Amino acid sequence: MDPAEVLMEEAKARQKPILEAAARGDSEIQRFFSGTTALVTGGTGFLGKLLIEKLIRSCDVKKIYVISRAKKGMSSKDRISALLKDCVFDTLREANPDFGNKIEPVEGDVAELQLGLSVQSWDTIAKKVDVIFHMAATTRFDETLRQATLINVRGTREILALAKQCKNLRSFVYVSTAYCQATRDRIKSEVLEHIYPSPIYPDALIGMAESMGDERLVSITKELIDGWPNTYTFTKAVAEELVRSNIGDLPACVVRPPVVLGAYTEPSPGWIDPSCVYGVTGWLLTALIGAAHVVLIENIDACVAPADFVTNAVIASAVETRNRHDNDDKQLKVYTISSGSSFNLVTTSKIIRSDRMKSLVSPKSVWYCWGVETSNKFIFWLLYWMLHYIPAYIVDSLFFLLRLKLPEGIPSVVKVYTKMYKMTSILSYFLTNEWTFKDDNTVALYHKLSSTDKLLFNFNIKPLLLEDYFMTYCLGIRKYIIKDNLKNTKKGVRMQFWFKIANFLYFAMFGYIVFKFFYTLYNISNIL
């Protein structure tokens, strides 16, 4: 068996006690959800599909309504049909091949008024839904303020209006982000578990997005979001205030996940959605295949979490919110999921490029896996040109002169590295700054769980071993994004040997060219 497959099988052994406990069905959280009907917005997204899988596999819910819009020529039903074939449901499919009968697609659009629902769909949800998980959001950091507002803020207003009409609502969970309050003035400070004052009244921002012209809105965006790095975190902060001011008497809570990475255990070790390649996972991917060799990071502790831990916290918070409401505690609580000092960025980067990781390298790697970490933006820019752009121009030129074609979907190597540079620039705010995310409410919630629920719905990140987790995560990237089936690892290792020699030759040639260039300049200056 391939070495990568051996490690993945060892990781799968962690599932056994969880699956056995789930089969008993006697935990408090399982009893709460058994027979309930849930509504999930954002159900076709990374965390949404993971939540749906967990609710059906472990909680025996009656039905889950999933709001989705027509997209790329596919109707809402077509998108849900495609969703059911996703590998995220493989474990569930083995145990319950008919699990899809519990998922009910509802055509709608969170960016539209009344969520784009028909009158019939609105009424059906209001009559039947017991629990609402509002996870839909645009997570693009470079999204326009208008679109980010319509989805993240107005969409939240519309789902709250629907929640207030639900006759049997037991719990409402709004999924925000830990970084919505990670503003520039709080760098190296604490971010508490409470709703901070909004930078703008939610209704005012919605009004601007609905009525203001494109040119005017774009022109004021930078000033409006001052203190926040992008429209995503800004609009999520405004949406939290909207929840606080509009929740009324509903049993509700806010969950703030950090940067969400691949699963640790469920539904399978390392599981990660391909849509995640535009974030931190994309950076890891390029490092794992030898495409990226320099990263702009500080020696700081990052706030990250495995995806399955986030899902577990979201589910547990729904139950606790109902319990508090029944005990006359109607305060809107915030649950921040924090890894504390468990995940150091520089240490993580070294693990990814360690000898152990190189012994598990993918046969689809494109160059020698090595890299440099720097916190200096000028040095980063200089190294990026030397290690990325210059080789990219050389490769593109060779392909052009030899009339060869690049792999499908790659217009040019230079354009690929330009996208990577843009991604790094966008992420740099979070990779070079540090905040202390307080998680007292979340820790207290975890300690309230029974021993069975702590096993079934674990979200205690701090005991995780950094190297152990990232080995699983990187193998997950190989399996679910690179898609090499965790085969031919020894071939990948052999390729690394030759890539290492080629890498040495490149630097020798590059150094010689630079030397000759400056030597020539020196001689010319002496002649003049």
Query: Is residue 511 domain-resident?
Result: no
3-class secondary-structure state, position 147: helix
The kind and range of the H/E element at 411 are none
Give dist(CA 495, CA 363) in Å, integer.
7
Q: What is the pLDDT of residue 95?
A: 87
Q: Are 315 and 29 in contact (CB under 8 A)?
A: yes
pLDDT tens-place string over residues 176-230: 999 999 999 999 999 999 999 999 999 999 999 999 998 999 999 999 999 999 9
Q: What is the pLDDT of residue 193?
A: 95
Q: Are 383 and 359 in contact (CB under 8 A)?
A: no
Closest residue by Cα to residue 300 from 346, 353, 232 = 346
Greatest Cα pair distance in the chain: 90
DSSP string over 436-458: EE--HHHHHHHHHS-HHHHHHT-
| Confidence label for 257 from pLDDT (cuts 50, 70 and 90) | very high
Query: Is residue 380 domain-resident?
Result: no
Query: Is residue 129 domain-resident?
Result: yes
Average pLDDT taken over every residue of the chain: 90
Which residues span the domain enclosing 86?
A: 17-275+302-339+435-463
Query: Is residue 123 domain-resident?
Result: yes
Angle between helices 307-326 and 440-448 (to 10 degrees): 80
Sign of torsion over alpha carbons 294, 300, 306, 310: negative
Give dist(CA 152, CA 144) in Å, integer.
12
What tokens does 386 get?
């030397």
Closest residue by Cα to residue 114 from 147, 49, 163 = 163
Query: Is residue 257 domain-resident?
Result: yes
**Mean pLDDT comparison of 158-162, 388-392, 459-463, highest-scoring range:** 158-162
Query: Is residue 405 domain-resident?
Result: no
Give dist(CA 242, CA 235) in Å, integer.
10
CATH code: domain of residue 204: 3.40.50.720
Within its chain, how far is the Cα of 168 from the centroid? 32
Look-up: residue for tokens 């959280």?
A: 29
Query: Is residue 259 domain-resident?
Result: yes
Look-up: residue for tokens 């987790």?
A: 469
Q: What is the pLDDT of residue 441?
A: 96
- Give the CA distances from residue 439 to residues 135, 322, 330, 339, in Å, rounded to whole numbers and listed in that order: 20, 20, 20, 9
pLDDT tens-place string over residues 121-135: 999 999 999 999 999
Number of domains in the chain: 1
Give dist(CA 224, CA 242) in Å, integer.
17
Q: For residue 280, is pLDDT > 80?
A: yes
User: Hey, which residues does 374 pair with through a beta bridge?
Assistant: 296
3-class secondary-structure state, position 338: coil
Sorted by sequence, the CB contacts under 8 Å of residue 383 that are 6+ apart come out as: 293, 294, 372, 374
Q: What is the pLDDT of residue 528?
A: 60
Closest residue by Cα to residue 267 from 139, 25, 481, 94 = 94
pTM: 0.93
Q: Which residue type does 184 have?
A: R
The total number of residues written for the chain in this structure: 528
Query: Is residue 506 domain-resident?
Result: no
